[in-house]
Chain A
């Protein structure tokens, strides 16, 4: 109990820190710490899948995106400090509004009625028919597969807009290379291990917490490491291959989903007897495509005007 109060307090403290610190760089670092604390909170809420996802995507990838953006924005110190808040009247009003919202929310939380329908029991009953043992993967990829389909489309849209804006102005690609021999040597060992972890995460997704999104996040982290250390990523420069890679995840998901539909059955109902196999195939395609999508969210960011931030020291 004390641990929960402590963790909750730390979470709120970090969140307040993110909003109140003057220096932008410090608030981004605090934001990454907030993401890691959130991962801990998800463990306390008995949601291991979410802890994995939050750590890999929430803190990891979002943190990298923010740091990368920050590096390109090179905030001029003076402006950052002075214009932090709006006029006192508006900030007072906003503060009152926030207090009101907290009060209303807490009142609603305390008074929330007991639900009539109990979904956990229904999920357990239907688990066998879904073809997967792990309830969360069952919900994600068979009961509510439609949500996951649309969610992959959402990421694809984000990447398409990134590509559209990136190439709409002719600017050189962002070289954020960190030239250090230790990194190169270490990667020789790290990359195969990360690949193995990604495949392991994908495989256990069907009976324990893991799955396509967490595995894809590890793949994306691998690609970011390779990009930062300058090791060439196979087929990276070839835009055509990139586009095909982006499309294959959603495409396979749609195709497999409508196999049953074409034969008179139901959309997103996996073929009889082949549920586990088709879910695994879809998860594999999703992992590959999502890994590429998450990486191109990092990659597709427009380049800065001047040379980029980290030029390794005299190594």
Chain B
């Protein structure tokens, strides 16, 4: 009984983190801050949801798959975030250089 309570609590908190992440996406002014909000908070939310789902899973390989999915999600999010900000920075100093000259 306690396990179920704990699991639903974890999933709820995870979902709340997703909410906060999207809120950050909407509220923050420019690209880097938005990306920072998104990647950090959503990964944590996903982690909590995965943690919440783990006890309910039957076989061990599926457990490892879930954790692998979480790790991959973190890697993909951080890599994409880095590239987006890099491209944004590239276009930023192009504008500043064109404005200065």
Do A and B actually bind?
A: yes
Chain A residues near B (Cβ < 8 Å): 178, 180, 182-183, 186, 189-190, 193, 310-315
Q: Can you name 11 extra interface pairs (CB under 8 A) apart from A182-B79, A193-B72, A310-B90?
A: A180-B82, A180-B86, A182-B82, A186-B75, A186-B79, A189-B75, A310-B87, A311-B90, A312-B90, A313-B89, A313-B90
- Interface size range on B against A: 10 to 19
Chain A positions within 8 Å of B87 at CB level = 310, 313
Q: Does B83 interact with chain A (Cβ within 8 Å)?
A: yes
Helix, strand, loop or mixed for chain A's interface? loop
| B75–A312 touching, CB < 8 Å | no
Sample of 18 A–B contacts (CB below 8 Å): A178-B83, A180-B83, A180-B86, A182-B82, A182-B83, A183-B79, A183-B83, A186-B75, A186-B79, A189-B75, A193-B72, A310-B90, A312-B86, A313-B87, A313-B89, A313-B93, A314-B93, A315-B86
Complex CA–CA separation, A178 to B89 (angstroms):
14
User: What's the minimum C-beta distance from A241 to chain B, rounded to whole angstroms?
Assistant: 30
Q: What is the chain A residue whose CB lies nearest that of B72?
A: A193
Chain B residues near A (Cβ < 8 Å): 72, 75, 79, 82-83, 86-87, 89-90, 93
User: What's the minimum C-beta distance from B47 to chain A, rounded to whole angstroms?
Assistant: 19
Complex CA–CA separation, A26 to B82 (angstroms):
21
Chain B positions within 8 Å of A190 at CB level = 75
Q: Which of B75, B86, B93 has the most CB atoms of chain A within a 10 A radius of its CB?
A: B86
Chain A positions within 8 Å of B93 at CB level = 313-314
Chain B positions within 8 Å of A312 at CB level = 86, 90
Complex CA–CA separation, A81 to B40 (angstroms):
36
| A313–B86 touching, CB < 8 Å | yes
Complex CA–CA separation, A186 to B75 (angstroms):
8
Across the A-B interface, the 4 shortest Cβ-Cβ residue pairs: A313-B90, A313-B89, A313-B86, A182-B82
Chain A positions within 8 Å of B90 at CB level = 310-314
User: What's the minimum C-beta distance from A95 to chain B, rounded to whole angstroms?
Assistant: 32
Chain B positions within 8 Å of A311 at CB level = 90
Chain A positions within 8 Å of B72 at CB level = 193
Chain A positions within 8 Å of B89 at CB level = 313
User: What's the minimum C-beta distance from B11 to chain A, rounded to whole angstroms?
Assistant: 15
Complex CA–CA separation, A310 to B72 (angstroms):
25
Complex CA–CA separation, A310 to B89 (angstroms):
12
User: What's the minimum C-beta distance from B68 to chain A, rounded to whole angstroms?
Assistant: 9
Complex CA–CA separation, A310 to B84 (angstroms):
11
